[in-house]
């Protein structure tokens, strides 16, 4: 369960270039929902997503995760919550170059100190699940866009997160791969994961998978449509 309480984010506060990216967003995101965040470029989608995912702290306001206020926690607690709760999928895949697909999937799990062979087996199983295990030994930069996307999804799942956060995940995918991506998200949602995607791609928000559509404009939540 995630609740946003009057979340405000100001960049460069007190400077001539001060910018309010999010103006007091208040929203109950519920649990295990499939949420699509829509809105024009610059409306604050990425900023809000990174606040929800504990990657950025709000300037003011509170985030409540499973009845616990997390906004004020010290960094090391936030890091732990981030690692155990969220899986991230970004527009730029952010795979580490020079490192194999398999190792890339394993990276987010390293801080947990699991036995290497067990972790490797889990990473391999995820690559198999997404039908990409034949590329396990390929370096990240050798993968095609669609292959890289599947590796990124596997990486997002390695710590078995309950919430998947994706920012413009289809921006670099063709139509077929975009539909495939949404199918995978639909499957993960059916398995009980919460999905939060920011996108202005109709393939994402017209997929029929979202049960909540949140519209943003100028840093404000302009509309909330509950489709459940
Ligand atoms: N680190 C930062 N420092 C200063 N301003 C920032 C920073 N990050 C974002 N902004 C500004 O905050 C506003 C919201 O940006 P954000 O990236 O959240 O928009 P968005 O809705 O994700 O846009 P897009 O659809 O283009 O990805 C923009 O005006 C942006 O320039
Ligand atoms: Mg963005």
* Token pair recorded at residue 117: 């062979």
Which residue is closest in CA terms to ligand 1's atom 12?
A: 21
Q: Read off the pTM.
A: 0.94
Q: Pocket residues for ligand 1 (CB within 6 Å)?
A: 11-12, 19, 21, 39, 41-47
Distance CA 223, CA 183 (A): 25
Using pLDDT thresholds of 50, 70 and 90, give the confidence band for residue 71.
confident
Backbone angles phi, psi at 198, to 5 degrees: -100, 130
Instruction: Tell me what the mean pLDDT of segment 201-212 comes to.
Output: 94
Residue 42 CA, ligand 1 centroid: distance in Å:
5
Which residue is closest in CA terms to ligand 1's atom 31?
A: 42
Contact (CB, 8 A) for 165 and 89? yes
Which atom of ligand 1 is nearest to 216's Cα? 21
- Tens of pLDDT, residue by residue over 16-45, are 999 999 999 999 999 989 999 999 999 999
Q: Is 158 helix (H, G, I), strand (E, B) or coil?
A: coil
Residue 43 CA, ligand 2 centroid: distance in Å:
8
Distance CA 16, CA 32 (A): 41
Which residue is closest in CA terms to ligand 1's atom 4?
A: 11
Distance CA 228, CA 212 (A): 7
Residue 48 CA, ligand 1 centroid: distance in Å:
10
For the chain, list the domains and their CATH numbers. 34-43+73-226 (3.40.50.300)
Residues β-bridged to residue 139:
100
Residue 43 CA, ligand 1 centroid: distance in Å:
7
Residue 174 CA, ligand 2 centroid: distance in Å:
19
- Tens of pLDDT, residue by residue over 95-149, are 999 999 999 999 999 999 999 999 999 999 999 999 999 999 999 999 998 899 9
**Within the chain, where are the H helices?**
45-52, 75-85, 101-106, 116-129, 145-157, 175-190, 202-205
Distance CA 211, CA 55 (A): 25
- Tens of pLDDT, residue by residue over 163-183, are 999 999 998 888 998 999 999
Helix axes 116-129, 145-157, angle to 10 degrees: 130
């Amino acid at each position: 369960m995630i609740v946003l309480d009057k979340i405000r984010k100001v960049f460069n506060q007190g400077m001539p270039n001060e910018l309010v990216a999010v103006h007091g967003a208040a929203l109950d995101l519920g649990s295990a929902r499939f949420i699509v965040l829509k809105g024009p470029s610059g409306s604050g989608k990425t900023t809000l997503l990174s606040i929800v995912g504990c990657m950025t702290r709000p300037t003011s306001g509170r985030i409540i995760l499973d009845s616990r206020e997390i906004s004020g926690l010290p960094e090391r607690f936030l890091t732990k919550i981030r690692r155990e709760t969220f899986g991230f999928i970004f527009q730029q895949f952010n795979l580490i170059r020079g490192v194999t697909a398999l190792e890339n999937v394993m990276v987010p799990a390293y801080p947990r100190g699991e036995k290497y062979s067990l972790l490797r087996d889990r990473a391999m199983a995820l690559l198999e699940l997404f039908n990409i295990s034949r590329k396990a030994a390929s370096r990240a930069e050798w993968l095609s866009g669609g292959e890289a996307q599947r590796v990124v999804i596997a990486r997002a799942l390695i710590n078995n997160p309950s919430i998947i956060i994706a920012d413009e995940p289809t921006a670099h995918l063709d139509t077929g791969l975009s539909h495939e991506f949404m199918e995978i998200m639909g499957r993960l949602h059916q398995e009980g994961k919460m999905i939060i995607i920011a996108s202005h791609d109709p393939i994402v928000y017209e997929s029929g998978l979202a049960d909540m559509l949140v519209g943003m404009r100028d840093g404000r939540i302009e509309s909330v449509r509950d489709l459940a």
